[in-house]
Amino acid sequence: MELKAQDAIKALMKKCESMENVTIDVIRNRNSVTGRRPKNANNVIIRISYKSSSNQSLDQEIIAAFQKDRDRADREMINKSDGKIIRMNFIFGNSNFSYNYDAENDMINITARFNE
């Protein structure tokens, strides 16, 4: 899997795999008959969730990674409320990376959709 435009985001997602208090879901889509992955749709979806108050340094690292890679995005959307980033969405070709802060539950949710 080569995601050159998203190097910083990809590296941080990999780091999250071994962290405590971080939940990671990985979904891989494929045809059950042929075993092939779909070519036209994102065949890998990774979801990362954690409590913001429990991992404030991770939250800052993730925001920094998104900011570092943003210049290479084909499309970006950043939403702030009271000076805090609550939502980011970057599209790099067929890949999509999103960051959402759920203030009510103090949760950060990150979703990556891409092809391997």
Question: Mean pLDDT, the chain, as a whole number?
Answer: 85
Which residue range is the domain that position 12 belongs to?
A: 4-114
pLDDT tens sequence across 26-37: 888 777 777 676
Q: What angle do CA 68, 69, 75 make, to 5 degrees?
A: 130
The total number of residues shown for the chain amounts to 116
| Domain count within the chain | 1
pTM of the model: 0.81
